[in-house]
Amino acid sequence: MIWSKDETLSRDELEKLQTKRLKETVARVYGAVPFYKKRFEELGLVPQDIKSIHDISKLPLTKKQDLRDNYPFGLFAVEQDAVVRIHSSSGTTGKPTVVGYTKSDMDVWNEVMARCYTMSGVNSEDTVHNAYGYGLFTGGLGLHDGAQTVGAAVVPSSGGFTSRQLLLMKDFGSTVLASTPSFALHLAEVALKEGYDIKKDFKLKCGIFGAEPTSEGLKEEVAKVWGVEYYEIYGMSEIIGPGVSNSCKEHNGLHIFEDHFYPEIIDSKTGEVLPYGEKGELVITSLTKQAFPIIRYRTGDITSLDQTPCRCGRTHVRMKSVMGRADDMLIVNGVNVFPSQVEHVLANVEEITLNYQIIADKKGYLDSLEIMVEVNDQMPMDSIGALENLKKKIQSELLNNLYINAKIKLVEPRSIERSMGKAVRVIDKRGK
């Protein structure tokens, strides 16, 4: 089932709509946002120079630091009395990034979230257990309002209180779990520990998971342990929140809603636009946002785009699952390493869980890498020989697949701190 006919527009129809909306957005930011007017003038651009969607590469790129430099409302394109919702990041690494929404923006957000739910097979007969965080983080409220838009009942559980969440999921008969993949796995671990029979005690049919890069191995583990179909959602607050893209029943990538968000892939170092199929940094331009329109925003997420037709009937371009963030990538003795690549290797080792941490440090002038990994409950911690063999096995797999030489530290089951939201996978001590 497809929520909106706009998801099936022909490429010509879509490009005409994108061109119209891009021209409107460029005129809006040029006239109302001093930051963008200055950037345009520096490039010798005026709105009239943008004649089609294919002229988008003439426009300046926007970085996260630009949002921080214009804190709090410097990039807003409407007066304050038109703003009905404000969200922001935590600001743990500096000033928070602040985004705003008009009533029209909220309607668009609910629309794209309704598309995500419909794409995931969710309708008015379902009960959504929403374990994304509520508050300034856009995840919880974005998933909440979208569920209501398609008529589903929503349980606003947010994060934490794992035992209570399991009780509610069982007693309320929730059919959909919305959470980060790492929290979904944490819920399953606690459910088994507390004696639940996951397949009998819960009625989940599918999950909508996102907010963190995830390997195919972890996706398979979450789907298997809960017995659900795994749907992936993507978004970020700077663009709108969750709802930028979602996987369909074909599970061959995430459809980006191109009538609202125009995607490009660039080379992170040069800024050069890359063709379809090539891996690089995802850049998004919002085409319909009023309060906080953003031009060619560098998401930092590494992926690629696929424009080939999808059997589900939707014509919007698909992005591959994010393999990592440009700023999360570790360079260890000259080798590029993403946490999701390490996770993919670990997923093929039966004796361990997928709870791990990567610790990068310095030994003299050289980088050192330690990976702390939990063994599973069947692995005897008192068997020194078995543990040594397991370490060698993991080291060999990492070396053969990723060309990295890492020290492996095996630890007890459930000894690495569990995440209530996005998992902290990397600790880089080299700058300290």
Residue 168 pLDDT > 70, yes or no? yes
Residues of the chain with CATH 3.30.300.30: 330-428
Summarize pLDDT for 219-264 with one digit per residue, the tens: 999 999 999 999 999 999 999 999 999 999 999 999 999 999 999 9
Q: Name the percent of the chain in helix, strand, coil, to the closest 5.
A: 35, 25, 40
Mean pLDDT of 318-344: 82
Residue 150 pLDDT > 50, yes or no? yes
Residue 197, both tokens: 């029979």
The pLDDT of residue 90 is: 63
Least confident of 119-123, 264-268, 364-368: 364-368
Summarize pLDDT for 69-99 with one digit per residue, the tens: 999 999 999 999 999 999 998 654 568 899 9
Q: Report residue 215's pLDDT band, with 50, 70 and 90 as the boundaries.
A: confident
Q: How many residues make up the chain in this entry?
A: 432
Residue 312 pLDDT > 70, yes or no? yes
Our measurement of the distance from residue 232's CA atom to the centroid of its chain's CA atoms, rounded to an integer in Å, reads 8
How far apart are alpha carbons 185 and 265 in whole angstroms?
A: 31
The pLDDT of residue 366 is: 75
The pLDDT of residue 91 is: 56
Residue 53 pLDDT > 60, yes or no? yes
Residue 426 pLDDT > 90, yes or no? no
Q: Where are the alpha helices (DSSP H) in 120-207?
A: 138-149, 162-171, 181-193, 198-201
Q: pLDDT higher for 330 or 238?
A: 238
The CA–CA distances, whole Å, from 106 to 86, 110, 405 equal 11, 6, 48
The CA–CA distances, whole Å, from 279 to 181, 212, 323, 337, 338 equal 23, 18, 10, 15, 14
Rg (CA), the chain: 22
How far apart are alpha carbons 261 and 285 in whole angstroms?
A: 6
Q: Quick one: what percent of the chain has pLDDT higher than 70?
A: 97
Torsion of CA 334, 336, 341, 343, to 10 degrees: 60
| Prediction pTM value | 0.85
The CATH number for 330-428, chosen from 3.30.300.30, 3.60.10.10, 1.10.260.40, 3.90.1280.20, is: 3.30.300.30
Residue 171 pLDDT > 60, yes or no? yes
The pLDDT of residue 404 is: 87
| 8-state DSSP, 240 | T
Residues with Cβ < 8 Å from 351, sequence gap 6 or more? 375, 376, 378, 379, 390
Residue 150, both tokens: 């398609």
Residues of the chain with CATH 3.40.50.12780: 1-323
Q: Report residue 371's pLDDT band, with 50, 70 and 90 as the boundaries.
A: very high
Residue 170 pLDDT > 80, yes or no? yes
What fold is seen in the domain 1-323? Answer: Rossmann fold (3.40.50)
Residue 135 pLDDT > 70, yes or no? yes
Residue 8, both tokens: 């099936």
Summarize pLDDT for 32-41 with one digit per residue, the tens: 999 999 999 9
Q: pLDDT higher for 211 or 292?
A: 292
